[in-house]
Structures are given as C-alpha cells and as structure tokens.
Amino acid sequence: MAMLRRGRRSATAAQRAYLRRGLDQPGGKLPLFDEEGQRYSGSTIRSCIERGWAEPWFDNPIKPDWLVCRLTSAGRRLFEKGDGSEG
C-alpha cells in the first residue's frame, strides 16, 4: 500500500491545473488530457490521489493503464480556501 501524504496542504501548479478541470464536471470527473490534448502525467495524477485530492472512479476496460479519477471534497477545498499557490 502506498504511503499517504495527506499532510501537504499546497498543490503544485501541475496538480492545480489537473484538479481545477474537475470543478465544473459532473461528479467531479477529472480529465485524462489537458487543454492542449496532452495526457496528464501519471505522477501528477498519483500524487493527487495520495494526497486525497482525487480518487479513482472506475476502470477503463479499453485503456486499463489510464487512471480515471474524480475530484474529492478535499480537492475542492484547495480552490474554495485557496492555498497560496495560485499564480
């Protein structure tokens, strides 16, 4: 089991860009690709899961290596309260 790093309160710019995309989506669904059509980094997605900001939603039978996730309430709080890393 991966060690959870939920203690970190601020998110990196890459994490915030990824998480922000789920704010207006039904169920908080997070995208696999950014606005430029580039796939989000697996390490960015996994770090958001480890910190409790995102959670796996369902398995993709066509692409099992893709992490389909959704935003958690903790992830939403990053944007409601602000964490000082907004640039």
Per-residue pLDDT tens for 26-69?
999 999 999 999 999 999 999 999 999 999 988 778 887 888 89
Instruction: Kindly state the DSSP code that residue 71 receives in the 8-state scheme.
Output: E
pTM of the model: 0.78
The boundaries of the domain holding residue 26 are 13-81
Render the burial of 19-34: b for 16+ CB within 10 Å, e for the rest: bbbbeeeeebebeeee
3 compared with 75, residue with greater pLDDT? 75
Q: How far is CA 65 from CA 3, 40, 42, in A?
A: 21, 13, 10
Tokens of 64: 């099992």
How far out from the chain centre does Cα 17 lie?
A: 9
pLDDT reading at 2 higher than 80: no
In total, how many domains does the chain have? 1
Residue 6 lies in a domain: no
pLDDT reading at 8 higher than 60: no
Residue 65 lies in a domain: yes
Find out whether 20 and 14 touch, Cβ atoms under 8 Å.
no
Residue 1 lies in a domain: no
